[in-house]
Amino acid sequence: MKRSIVCRCEDISEEDVIHAIDEGYTDIEELRKKLRIGMGPCQGRVCIQIVARILEKKTGKKVATTPLPTVRPPIIPVSLGTLASENDEK
Amino acid sequence: MKSKADVVIIGGGVNGCSLAYKLAKKGLDVVVVEKKYLSSGATGACGAGIRQQWSTRENALLAIKSVKMFEQLSRELGQDIEFRQGGYLIAVHDEKEMEQAEKNVAMQRSLGLKVDILKPEEITNVVPILDVQGMKAIGATFCPTDGHANPFRTTFAYADAARSHGAEINTHTTVMNLKTAKKAIRTVITDKGPIQTNVVVNAAGIDSKAIAEMVHIHLPLTPMRKEIMATERLQPLFEAMVISFKDGVYFSQQKEGQIVGGIPIPEEKGGYKTMPTFRFLEHMSRTLTRYAPMLKHVNLLRHWTGFYDVTPDARPILGEVKGIKGFLQCNGFSGHGFMISPMVTELLTDLIVEGKTSEVLQNLTLDRFKDNNIEKELSVVG
């Protein structure tokens, strides 16, 4: 079976997104929480634009007016050891 | 949107959606009004833990009965809420903490809960990745039936079930005002129009305070920003949630494999600011790698903030407010609203549908602050 992957981090396909929209999850934040898109190592850089376009096709909500999900720092994954190593704990 | 309802619930978090489901199932006409999207507040930001080990009897009772309901919930709602019982391991660091732990365990056991006190060498039997010396533990308490569930899935499953019983859920809808007549609730004014009703449930998390002010009720709620982080996915390493009241840290491995945990920043004050801080990342990563040194090679993916709506005794405000008929509170959860939501909404359903109250509900009304009848919950983490 052919699957068009939308989110590589969480293995979510175009069909999964369409199905969730059909179930009534038409807010990009709701879709994120339902499907975990944007929660993997890429933090949404790969998937969110594609999901926004599917959302536009299905609901008419323009990509330009769909707000981006809240950005969660850090921008790229950082190891706990690196974060812990900077200075001695005060 | 409907212009009339039996009950209007303000807030689409886990408590609001759970209550909507239970009331709709009893045949009531329910409308939920949510300012953003479902689970957008404390529910969606929470640590997903479900704990029965509390210091006050009310919280322990609410949690024990809630776990019994969580055990059945996936089947009842027809959706997997990812509930699993890996237990909670609470680290004990000194004699004074041990004294309190023994007191808590005795009370919890009197309510029928199975809780053990572990020796230091038994800690790694439960969570193998822990460094007992590094975490400076002289023991621990462990309850094997504590656990986790997925807060998003739980909230969405409740909302779906509520809708299928006829409840109306309006997201992106803001409450502008509440109107009363003859000291009773009459109308909820929203930005999408008014709703006539005799019962309003204030389940709006940190915004509950502002909602109550609309009818001149003052709730003693302080918003406390909390930060929390998630790592990349790992193979299953441990099942229990590890927490420490002294260090304030909590962490667990979720079903998908990521480790999720938080810790309060020592100098943090109350307020509505939502920005995550670098100070948290430092403090959290140092504490976490002290507890479990092997995690230093693991990548942190993201970190976010959420709010505890904290009351003076760290216990929720529930039930009807004196002076305004039909104005019910379901807020002030102080960081543990998700885990006690099944029982809280059960008690409120009994109150709304049958007018039935209970000892727990009576001890948790707003009046307790006026009467100074408060017993502080000590077992708070994060």
Q: Mind listing the domains of chain B with CATH numbers?
A: 7-45+152-221+312-370 (3.50.50.60), 85-146+222-309 (3.30.9.10)
Beta strands at B193-196 and B184-190: parallel, antiparallel or unpaired: antiparallel
pTM of the entire predicted model:
0.94
Instruction: Check CB contact under 8 Å for B37 and A29.
Output: yes
**A30 CA: distance to closest CA in chain B (Å):** 7
Nearest of B242, B235, B285 to residue B257 by alpha carbon: B235
Count of CB atoms within 10 A of residue B181's CB?
Answer: 8
Query: What pLDDT is stored for residue A85 in this prediction?
Result: 87
B267 touches chain A (CB under 8 A): no
Which of A30, A34, A83 lies nearest to residue B282, judging by beta carbons? A83
pLDDT digits (tens, 9 = 90+) for A7-46: 999 999 999 999 999 999 998 999 999 999 999 998 898 8
Contacts B281 to A, Cβ<8 Å: 74, 83
Q: Which of A30, A79, A84 sits opposite B38 (nearest CB)?
A: A30
Q: Quick check: helix, strand or coil at residue B229?
A: strand
Average of per-residue pLDDT values in chain A = 89
φ and ψ at residue B280, rounded to 5 degrees: -65, -45
**Contact pairs from chain A to chain B, CB under 8 Å:** 80
Which chain A residues are closer than 8 Å to B232 by Cβ? 41, 77
A-chain CB neighbours of B299 within 8 Å are 41, 77-80
Each residue's pLDDT expressed in tens, for chain B with a length of 382 residues: 999 999 999 999 999 999 999 999 999 999 999 999 999 999 999 999 999 999 999 899 999 999 999 999 999 999 999 999 999 999 999 999 999 999 999 999 999 999 999 999 999 999 999 999 999 999 999 999 999 999 999 999 999 999 999 999 999 999 999 999 999 999 999 999 999 999 999 999 999 999 999 999 999 999 999 999 999 999 999 999 999 999 999 999 998 899 999 999 887 777 777 888 889 999 999 999 999 999 999 999 999 999 999 999 999 999 999 999 999 999 999 999 999 999 999 999 999 999 999 999 999 999 999 877 788 888 888 7
**Which residues numbered 270-299 in B keep a CB inside 8 Å of some CB on A?**
276, 281-286, 288-289, 295-299
Does the distance separating the beta carbons of B283 and A89 come in below 8 Å?
yes
Q: What is the ipTM of this complex?
A: 0.87
Query: For residues B141 and B92, what is the distance between their CA atoms, to the nearest angstrom?
Result: 7
Q: What distance, in Å, lies between the first and last C-alpha atoms of chain B?
A: 38
Residues of chain A neighbouring B156 (CB-CB closer than 8 A): 25, 33-34
Superfamily the domain A5-85 falls into:
BFD-like [2Fe-2S]-binding domain (1.10.10.1100)
Q: Is the dihedral of CA B7, B17, B341, B211 positive or negative?
A: negative
Taking the domains of chain A in order of start, what are their residue ranges? 5-85
A49: contact with B, CB 8 A cutoff? no
B294 φ, ψ (degrees, to nearest 5) = -65, -20
What is the nearest CA distance from B302 to chain A, expressed in angstroms?
5
Tokens 């989110």, located at residue: A7
Rounded-to-integer distance, Cα B140 and Cα B142, Å: 6
